[in-house]
């Protein structure tokens, strides 16, 4: 059976992910609260639906890319939602970054209707979504994963099944812990170097090939030095992810002290009206404490 794909959630990440599916030749039906993105992709060949239920009625695979746990619950389980329109044999792929226990709750409700589910959160930000090079962490049954892998391969360079439903979001939380801590450490290291009078571009060039090198450093250091905090992944969403990590750690008896610290930094930045900034702006909190600003020297602008 050829996949008829529904896609709900056309934000910074969802729109380019859906566009890549269109480019790959998949029949796509879209729904989004904001109509501008829907109309843009409709002009490129996608069909339009007016509710999650209608998307499911037209699709045998429904992908969701939503901000948080309550959004996934509402769109999938709520009135006029996906489960009201999905038929036996449909598959839901929730690519939102949400609490693992919520993924499992949704999966149980879907299973009662004969519907399979994968939780498949992603990492790679807007550039990865545009390029189709996301890292996709998948939880769900092996046969469901195998059936959906060609679809996921269109959107990601690395697609790994990590366990049953909920496992994908546990691994995504682990990813978010490491990314947040890495950006905070970049802020500390570059603030120290800047205050010592060393050009951050030279610091970047000196350390990027060593053990401190990372994808986070490659992606975020140039943005920081250019003072470009336009969102690829928003502060408020990373704060939400770390909150979910802390709640999951509490449930499992795992202390997460550094995660807690960075989550508080993100909360402080949100209180300064920086919720919509890119998460590279974590460094702004460190800069303020050091009374320094990380930027290229005048000669390198």
Residues 107, 178 share a domain: no
Residues 191, 127 share a domain: no
Q: What is the predicted pLDDT for the residue at 301?
A: 46
Residues 124, 177 share a domain: no
What CATH number should be reported for the domain holding residue 154?
Answer: 3.40.50.720
**Domain carrying residue 249:** 170-300
Residues 46, 21 share a domain: yes
pLDDT range class, residue 34, cuts 50, 70, 90: confident
Residues 20, 131 share a domain: yes
- Mean pLDDT of the region 14-25: 97
Residues 134, 213 share a domain: no
Residues 6+ apart with CB under 8 A from 103: 72, 94, 117, 119, 139, 165, 166, 168, 169
- In the three-class reduction of DSSP (H, G, I as helix; E, B as strand; rest coil), residue 100 is classed as helix
- Mean pLDDT of the region 241-264: 97
Q: What's the total number of domains in the chain?
A: 2
Tokens coding 162: 């990590």
Interatomic CA distance for residues 108 and 120, integer angstroms: 16
Assess contact for 91 and 117: CB atoms under 8 A. Answer: yes
Asked whether the predicted pLDDT for residue 239 surpasses 50, the reply is: yes
Assess contact for 94 and 103: CB atoms under 8 A. Answer: yes
Pairing of strands 91-94, 27-31: unpaired
Q: Which of 165, 195, 223 is the last residue of a domain?
A: 165
Is the entire prediction scored with pTM above 0.75?
yes
Residues 232, 146 share a domain: no
Residues 124, 40 share a domain: yes
Assess contact for 75 and 8: CB atoms under 8 A. Answer: yes
Assess contact for 119 and 165: CB atoms under 8 A. Answer: yes
Interatomic CA distance for residues 227 and 301, integer angstroms: 11
What CATH number should be reported for the domain holding residue 270?
Answer: 1.10.1040.10
- Mean pLDDT of the region 71-97: 96
Q: What is the predicted pLDDT for the residue at 73?
A: 97
Q: Which of 165, 186, 207 is the last residue of a domain?
A: 165
- Mean pLDDT of the region 255-275: 98
Pairing of strands 122-123, 61-64: unpaired
Residues 212, 100 share a domain: no
Asked whether the predicted pLDDT for residue 1 surpasses 90, the reply is: no
Find the catalytic residue in 172, 220, 250, 296. Answer: 172
Catalytic-residue membership of 172: yes
What residues pair up with 278 in beta bridges, in sequence order? 234
Residues 181, 269 share a domain: yes
Q: What is the predicted pLDDT for the residue at 299?
A: 61
Q: Which of 120, 143, 165 is the last residue of a domain?
A: 165
Give pLDDT tens digits for 100-140. Answer: 999 999 999 999 999 999 999 999 989 999 999 999 999 99
Give pLDDT tens digits for 196-227. Answer: 999 999 999 999 999 999 999 999 999 999 99
Interatomic CA distance for residues 102 and 77, integer angstroms: 11
Residues 153, 23 share a domain: yes
Residues 105, 186 share a domain: no
- Mean pLDDT of the region 52-62: 97
């Amino acid at each position: 059976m050829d996949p008829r794909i529904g896609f709900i959630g056309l934000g910074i990440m969802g729109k380019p992910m859906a566009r890549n599916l269109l480019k790959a030749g998949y029949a796509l039906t879209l729904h989004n609260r904001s109509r501008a993105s829907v109309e843009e992709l409709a002009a490129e060949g996608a069909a339009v639906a007016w509710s999650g239920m209608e998307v499911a009625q037209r699709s045998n695979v429904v992908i969701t890319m939503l901000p948080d746990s309550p959004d996934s619950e509402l769109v999938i389980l709520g009135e006029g939602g996906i489960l009201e329109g999905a038929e036996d044999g449909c598959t839901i792929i929730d690519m939102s970054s949400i609490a693992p226990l919520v993924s499992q709750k949704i999966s149980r409700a879907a299973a009662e209707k004969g519907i399979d589910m994968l939780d498949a959160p992603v990492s790679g930000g807007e550039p990865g979504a545009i390029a189709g090079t996301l890292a996709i962490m998948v939880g769900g049954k092996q046969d469901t994963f195998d059936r959906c892998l060609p679809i996921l391969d269109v959107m990601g360079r690395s697609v790994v099944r990590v366990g049953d439903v909920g496992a994908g979001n546990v691994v995504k939380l682990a990813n978010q812990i490491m990314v947040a801590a890495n950006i905070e450490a970049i802020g500390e290291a570059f603030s120290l170097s800047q205050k010592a009078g060393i050009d951050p571009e030279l610091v970047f060039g000196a350390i990027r090939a060593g053990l401190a090198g990372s994808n986070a450093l490659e992606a975020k250091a140039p943005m920081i030095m250019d003072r470009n905090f336009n969102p690829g992944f928003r502060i408020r969403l990373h704060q939400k992810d770390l909150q979910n990590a802390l709640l999951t750690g509490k449930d499992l008896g795992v202390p997460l002290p550094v995660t807690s610290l960075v989550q508080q930094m993100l909360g402080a930045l949100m209180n300064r009206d920086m919720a919509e900034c890119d998460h590279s702006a974590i460094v702004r909190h460190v800069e303020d404490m050091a009374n320094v600003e990380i930027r290229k020297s005048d000669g390198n602008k």
